[in-house]
Amino acid sequence: MLVQFNYSAVPSSDALEDFVRAELDKAIARFESRLTRVEVHLADMKSKRTGPDDKRCRLEARPKGRDPFLAEDTADDLYRAVSGAVGKLERMLMTRLDPHS
């Protein structure tokens, strides 16, 4: 499954990308054959200022032949935002792609 990263006011980071891939592998590996890609959008919404919940992770899972599923979370750091968004995406895929499990 292709994982595509997009950054907004956040420097790219190999460590963060590795973390995202590991979280996605744990949470949605069983759906991999039904997904063409996951787009990861990482943003610092307040850019130069800091504040609570100013980091955002938006995940777009693109299933074959269906409209994309969107999960988003905000937190005070990107790692927490990623974990929250991955959890939401996992629950969404479970209910929409595998509702009887």
Beta-strand pair 2-8/55-63:
unpaired
Q: What is the CA radius of gyration of the chain?
A: 14
DSSP state of 70: E
H or E, element range at 36 = strand 35-44
pLDDT tens profile 70-100: 999 999 999 999 999 999 999 999 999 887 7
pTM of the model: 0.91
CB 3 within 8 A of CB 20: yes
Average pLDDT, integer, range 14-37? 96
What integer pLDDT is reported at residue 45 of this predicted model? 87
Query: Bigger pLDDT: 101 or 67?
Result: 67
Residue 7 confidence (pLDDT) above 80? yes
pLDDT at residue 98, as a whole number: 81
Considering the four listed CATH numbers 3.40.430.10, 3.50.50.60, 3.30.160.100, 1.10.287.3510, the one that applies to the domain covering 2-97 is 3.30.160.100
Domain ranges within the chain, ordered by starting residue: 2-97
